[in-house]
Structure 1
Amino acid sequence: MINLNIQMDKLHKELFEQMIQMNEKTFDSEFKSKFLNFIEMLTFDLMDGEDNFFAMFFIQMKRGVRGDIASGCETEMSLSYFTMYFNPYIFLKCSIKEMKALIKHEIYHVMYNHMKRAKKLSEKYSMLAINTAMDVSVNQYIKDLPPWSISLQNTKLQYNIIDFEYDKTLEYYVKKIQENIDKKKKDEKRGIVNDKNFGVYKEFDEMNIHKLWRNNSKEFSEDQIDELKNKIIRNAAKGKLPPKVQEYVDDMNKKAEISWQSYLKRMIGTLPKGYKKTITRKDRRQPYRMDLRGRLSNHVIKIVVAVDISGSMTDVEIDEAMTEVFDILRDRNYECTIIECDNIVRRVYKVKKPKDIRKKLDTKGGTSFSPVFEYLHKHRMEDCLLIYFTDGMGEKELPVRPKIKKILWVLTGQKGELSLNRSLGKVKKLKNKSVESFEIYRDVLFNRGEWANNEWAK
């Protein structure tokens, strides 16, 4: 290992000197070959101790060299593999420890599903807020990062965020950062990534990081990303693993319960479709009959989302859940109504996109299910699909049996049980233990009270 460190230091110095003398915007094949050989040495060095998991993960990724990325390294996805690209102008300025930290940084992005989550968050938040939040959420667990890295502390100071807590979700951080960007009344263009091709980046540029994700995130479905990522994790798990990671891998291999999102997709797929006559389409059964008009679908899916605001759901959880709902409905014709309620209906409004969601009312009432069903009956909305987010602690019996046939209860409480003796519709949990949730990797990798003492997490 001592011999390997000497070789790495020597090659690092050679590459750095060669890079300084470069005038071209592209790297020649000899430099690329030597640089990738240096990356191989870094991979072997990562195999020492409990960092082995990251080494085994990285081995399954392809590597490349390009100067048009605004950070030391970034990851791009294809149909069957991930590729980690390195910018030598930025990467070679780092120490060996900082380089290994940057590789861990990219692996955490893949494991946390940031590629998928950033795409959803971009519908509501600026890319500046999303990029910053993604780095804050992973960098707090990594030691020896370069001084220019985005951290929780420097972000807190930069945007003057008073309440900025440690060990929170990506959605929490992006919401906090966006709020403070808006408070400072910065130009909205500041939050939009400039897609102009600057050629080669020789310094870290937080405005243009994670650019590769946006270039190809539309080409692949979420299932494809998840399948590829889980396959790599299973293969990486053959190395030395901490107990909690092994526990997660065991759970991942078990058959998972169907999530509420998957069940909602099934429910929507069974809804009837309406049609209208049109002269712009031929009749499908008799296409040669020009006197017969064709048909176009005009069915509008009526969705009602009831949210228990008695304290069981936070604003962040509501945003996350509604983002999932809009993502499922994105290619359909729909009307979505939000009903906020506790022991009475507090507010009703229509939404078309995540940005239309309002901050929930601050109430101290109890939880009752019947006001929602009474409201739907009174306003003749019982032909809708009802999604009810609640902690489940309401009445045991409803005064009147609802006529709504499509009901999905999504339970947000720890108990995970619906209080109704005679349940209606399907009952699902907001987050299942064996189903991937937003922060499942954090729960596995950073067991509270233990992670700080684990060398592999540094």
Structure 2
Amino acid sequence: MNINNLISAINKTSSDNQDLLIRKAISQNIIYGLSHGELYGYLLINLDRVCDYNINSTFALKWEKDNLLLTYNPKQFVNNIKSNNDLTANLEHLSMHIIWLHPIRYNNPNKVESIAADISVNQYVKFLPKNAFTIEKLSYFYNIKLPKFKDSNEYVNLLKQFISNSKARKNISNSDMQLMDDHKHFKKMNVSDGAKYSKIRNLIKHTVSKMGNKNRGKLPNAVNEQLDKINNKQINWRKYIQKGVSKIPFGESMSIKRFNRRQSYRMELPGKISSNLKSIIIFIDNSGSISNNYLNLAISQISDIFRLYPIDIIIYPFDAKIHEQNAYRVKSSQKIRYDRVSNGGTSYQSIFDFIHIKHLENNFCIIFTDGLGEKNVNNYGFNNVLWVLEDSSNNLSINKRIGNVIRITNIN
């Protein structure tokens, strides 16, 4: 039975038998997409599919711990899916949300964010339903100038200006345009954003590895760029951390478990062993200029560090001061939490004062920040620092060279 006939049968069968047929239709459509080199087929074949009558749309992406689910509502399916093209449009729409990381970036989104997310991905979806939100409809009916192929974040800012008008809010609410999926399930459920990001990154890496260059050549440039941005986001932490560790002047201690090199025949003499690195101390900028997206990315990078070096890692939030009361030790790469503790200004001097006062000079220091701080600091001679800036950031504001600077691409 082809997919269109299967959808026709779903609409005619009793509600008790619909779930099995819907699951079969979804599977057949995804396999068809996979066999024809379609991105959504490669991506969604890896998601568990779950029936859920609580979602307010045909489909929704939903977090269950650190697992991303493709959920569907049979009642909505019968109302909205009349052909294979309708089904394809919905599945492509979901895959584009994943590629642009919307299930991480929009944690419990409001109306403006939801519309912005939909119009950004709908530009890459074939067979859109007539009631879907699009740039063209918003521009025509409400006289909003919206550029094409921009990130949802830019659309959020433009729509906020327009929808701040109560009449405009009413007009959009009363229009026949609807969101294609239920975004409220983007909300995180007892799992860190770092773990969620790792899940999607691994999903996309697997998708890219299976698609091949021929199939990727059929994708729009913006989609390919986004795939590459996520797929290539790994930082060689081993290189940077080994370099940082090598700068630390390790002391030596006596041990009876090691032979004395100078007099190895004398068993009663202890040998010497090098002392270990105390810990890696990480400072995460919580100032007002830092986006939540960058903080999410910082957490995911720290997960990578801990997987490589499961040693003592301590995280300190900072803005104009170090929030020592909110510091914590990393015990698992899956349990690194993100809690914005402040939105003040940025003081890099507070970091070096803290290191000096607490006698933390025998540690390797990593600072996640946007680089927007003061120009002059007293580092007390401490240079074992790695600054991790957003790719979109300007240069680090400090005039004096202290340590090394690398950049990572933001997840916008």
- TM-score normalized with structure 2 length: 0.58
1:413 is displaced (CA, Å) by: 7.3
Contact (CA 8 Å) 1:132, 1:150: kept in 2 or not? yes
Contact (CA 8 Å) 1:136, 1:150: kept in 2 or not? yes
**CA–CA separation in structure 2 for the residues paired with 1:238 and 1:208:** 27
**CA–CA separation in structure 1 for the residues paired with 2:22 and 2:226:** 37
Q: Does 1:17 align with 2:12?
A: yes
Q: Which residue of 1 aligns with 2:110?
A: 127
Q: Which residue of 2 aligns with 1:429?
A: 407
Q: Does 1:165 align with 2:162?
A: no
Contact (CA 8 Å) 2:48, 2:70: kept in 1 or not? yes
1:60/1:422 CA distance change after superposition, 3 Å = same
Name which of 104, 112, 116 aligns with 2:92.
104
For residue 182 of structure 1, what is the amino acid of its counterpart? S
1:187 is displaced (CA, Å) by: 8.2
Q: Which residue of 1 aligns with 2:195?
A: 224
For residue 75 of structure 1, what is the amino acid of its counterpart? L
**CA–CA separation in structure 1 for the residues paired with 2:114 and 2:285:** 33
1:62/1:306 CA distance change after superposition, 3 Å = closer
For residue 128 of structure 1, what is the amino acid of its counterpart? K
1:428 is displaced (CA, Å) by: 3.0
Partner of 1:115, secondary structure, is: helix
**TM alignment of 1:183-194, pairs within 5 A:** 183-184=165-166
Partner of 1:50, secondary structure, is: coil
Q: Which residue of 1 aligns with 2:131?
A: 148
**CA–CA separation in structure 2 for the residues paired with 1:303 and 1:83:** 31
Name which of 383, 388, 391 aligns with 2:353.
383
1:227 is displaced (CA, Å) by: 2.9
1:353 is displaced (CA, Å) by: 5.4
> How big is each residue's C-alpha offset from its partner over 1:110-130, in whole Å with a ceiling of 9 and x where there is no partner?
2222121112xx6xxx61112
**TM alignment of 1:275-424, pairs within 5 A:** 319=291, 336-337=319-320, 383=353, 389-390=370-371, 423-424=401-402
% identical aligned pairs? 18
**TM alignment of 1:83-102, pairs within 5 A:** 83-92=69-78, 93-94=80-81, 95-102=83-90
Name which of 231, 235, 244 aligns with 1:256.
235
Q: Which residue of 2 aligns with 1:115?
A: 103
> How big is each residue's C-alpha offset from its partner over 1:398-432, in whole Å with a ceiling of 9 and x where there is no partner?
7x86659698756567898669885124423252x
Contact (CA 8 Å) 1:411, 1:428: kept in 2 or not? yes
Q: Which residue of 1 aligns with 2:20?
A: 33
1:405/1:304 CA distance change after superposition, 3 Å = farther
Contact (CA 8 Å) 1:11, 1:38: kept in 2 or not? yes
Residue segments in structure 1 that go unaligned for 5+ positions in a row: 192-202, 264-300, 308-314, 339-350, 358-371, 432-436, 440-458
1:72/1:325 CA distance change after superposition, 3 Å = closer
Q: Does 1:46 align with 2:33?
A: yes
For residue 181 of structure 1, what is the amino acid of its counterpart? I
Name which of 193, 197, 210 aligns with 1:238.
210
Contact (CA 8 Å) 2:285, 2:317: kept in 1 or not? no
1:178 is displaced (CA, Å) by: 2.3
**CA–CA separation in structure 1 for the residues paired with 2:149 and 2:201:** 23
Partner of 1:32, secondary structure, is: helix
**CA–CA separation in structure 2 for the residues paired with 1:45 and 1:168:** 30
Q: Which residue of 2 aligns with 1:286?
A: none
1:165/1:417 CA distance change after superposition, 3 Å = same
Partner of 1:427, secondary structure, is: strand
Contact (CA 8 Å) 1:388, 1:408: kept in 2 or not? no
1:86 is displaced (CA, Å) by: 2.0
Name which of 139, 145, 161 aligns with 1:179.
161
> How big is each residue's C-alpha offset from its partner over 1:298-353, in whole Å with a ceiling of 9 and x where there is no partner?
xxx9998899xxxxxxx8xx54577669999xxx9977349xxxxxxxxxxxx975
1:208 is displaced (CA, Å) by: 8.3
**CA–CA separation in structure 2 for the residues paired with 1:391 and 1:336:** 11
Partner of 2:144, secondary structure, is: coil
**CA–CA separation in structure 1 for the residues paired with 2:370 and 2:65:** 35
1:231/1:382 CA distance change after superposition, 3 Å = closer
1:413/1:14 CA distance change after superposition, 3 Å = closer
Contact (CA 8 Å) 1:306, 1:389: kept in 2 or not? no
1:73 is displaced (CA, Å) by: 0.9
**CA–CA separation in structure 1 for the residues paired with 2:233 and 2:287:** 32
For residue 171 of structure 1, what is the amino acid of its counterpart? N
Contact (CA 8 Å) 1:73, 1:87: kept in 2 or not? yes
For residue 256 of structure 1, what is the amino acid of its counterpart? I
> How big is each residue's C-alpha offset from its partner over 1:205-261, in whole Å with a ceiling of 9 and x where there is no partner?
5498212222xx1322223223322333344332444158599679947852459xx
1:152 is displaced (CA, Å) by: 2.0
1:70/1:320 CA distance change after superposition, 3 Å = same
Contact (CA 8 Å) 1:159, 1:177: kept in 2 or not? no
Q: Which residue of 1 aligns with 2:275?
A: none
